[in-house]
């Protein structure tokens, strides 16, 4: 009986392995002459998820993936992990898809070897995909001029400033111009890579890949970080508030959704909580667009953005660390929609006979 049970179990295991896609248990595909070839550019400071997430997607989809660096020598990622590329720029094979990840890109976007390689290999590639701040590297090549592009949320304004010829957008998880595709931050690279799989193999193949990865791929309505409510906080905080020179911040909490957000810091400074609140209040008023309102404790302001009434508040709290205290800022969008002034004035005018 035991022998028969073992035989049945072995048969079921064999059937399961037959049903799995070959790519699911292939250790490494770059050397198997795959139908679709992907090249991933690596450099010192590269962000792990920016290249590893898409690598997993493309490998699971059965694409051949090759990692390349300028000299083929190991690179150190932004988090300290050492990665050994498959090959150097000089010995890299031809690619159908070229991936430019992000991370600490300051050096890479000024590296002539990196930029020249991307320019040259973009010509024969069917698709060129950047992830996160990889858009800065791709932007430095000039290949995004006149196209739509997105990037990591905190870097969106910087991308627009540094590359004024690029149409920088912030309300998407990825921007597709046909050949050139840019993903937003970090995990967005997984979604954009699945989008490339869809472009190459079709929607069902992309969905099958996502399911095998146990990834909830939202093809059209996925999470967009830049749509979260912290976008309503005044962008000029760093410049309009006269921060004490000795102040040090330790981030404790930054959470929320599209309607509300909460940020909490531990603050170390000789300036009292009351005095710091006054400095922040002066900065908010200086930023413009905010009106201080009465509050039972702390500070409270009201403003209008994107057609919504916005309420922002500041509170200060004791800390369990000696010589410090905590401050918390919250922001929320009211349900009430503010009518567009021009539209309201226009609608109030009598019709012209």
Taking the C-alpha atoms of residue 353 and residue 350, their distance in angstroms, rounded to an integer, is 9
Please report the beta strands in 169-259, taking only residues with DSSP state E, as ranges in sequence order: 174-176, 180-183, 248-256
Burial class (CB in 10 A: 0-12, 13-18, 19+), 58: buried
**DSSP character for 103?**
B
78 included as an active-site residue: no
The active-site residue out of 129, 132, 135, 287 is 132
Alpha carbon 193 to chain centroid distance?
Answer: 13
b/e string for 327-352 if b means 16 or more Cβ within 10 A?
bbbbbbbeeeeeeeeeeeeeeeeeee
Q: Identify whether the C-beta of residue 159 lies closer than 8 Å to the C-beta of residue 168.
A: yes
Taking the C-alpha atoms of residue 234 and residue 312, their distance in angstroms, rounded to an integer, is 10
- Bridge partners (DSSP) listed for residue 67: 40
Residues designated catalytic: 132
């Amino acid at each position: 009986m035991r022998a028969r049970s073992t035989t049945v179990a072995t048969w079921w295991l064999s059937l399961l392995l037959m049903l799995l896609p070959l790519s699911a248990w292939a250790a490494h595909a770059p050397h198997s002459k795959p139908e679709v070839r992907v090249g991933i550019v690596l450099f010192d400071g590269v962000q792990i998820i920016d290249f590893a997430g898409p690598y997993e997607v493309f490998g699971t989809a059965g694409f051949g993936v090759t990692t390349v660096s300028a000299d083929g020598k190991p690179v150190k990622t932004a988090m300290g992990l050492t990665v050994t590329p498959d090959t150097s720029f000089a010995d890299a094979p031809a690619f159908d898809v070229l991936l430019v990840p992000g991370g600490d890109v300051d050096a890479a976007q000024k590296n002539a070897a990196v930029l020249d390689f991307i320019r040259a290999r973009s010509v024969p590639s069917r698709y060129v995909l950047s992830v996160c701040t990889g858009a800065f590297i791709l932007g430095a090549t000039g290949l995004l001029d006149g196209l739509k592009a997105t990037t990591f949320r905190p870097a969106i304004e910087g991308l627009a400033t540094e590359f004024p010829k690029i149409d920088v957008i912030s309300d998407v998880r990825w921007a597709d111009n046909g050949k050139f595709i840019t993903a937003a931050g970090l995990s967005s690279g997984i979604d954009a890579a699945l989008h490339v799989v869809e472009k190459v193999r079709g929607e069902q193949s992309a969905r099958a890949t996502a399911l095998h990865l146990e990834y909830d791929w939202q093809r059209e309505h996925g999470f967009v970080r830049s749509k979260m409510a912290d976008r309503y906080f005044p962008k000029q905080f760093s410049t309009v508030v006269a921060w004490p020179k000795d102040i040090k911040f330790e981030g404790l909490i930054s959470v929320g959704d599209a309607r509300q957000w909460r940020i909490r810091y531990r603050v170390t400074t000789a300036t009292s909580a009351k005095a710091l609140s006054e400095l922040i209040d002066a900065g908010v008023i200086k930023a413009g667009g905010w009106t201080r309102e009465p509050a039972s404790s702390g500070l409270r302001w009201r403003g209008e953005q994107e057609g919504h009434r916005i309420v922002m508040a500041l509170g200060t709290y004791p800390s369990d660390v000696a010589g410090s205290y905590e401050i918390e800022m919250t922001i929320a969008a009211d349900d009430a929609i503010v009518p567009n002034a021009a539209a309201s004035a226009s609608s109030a005018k009598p019709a012209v006979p």
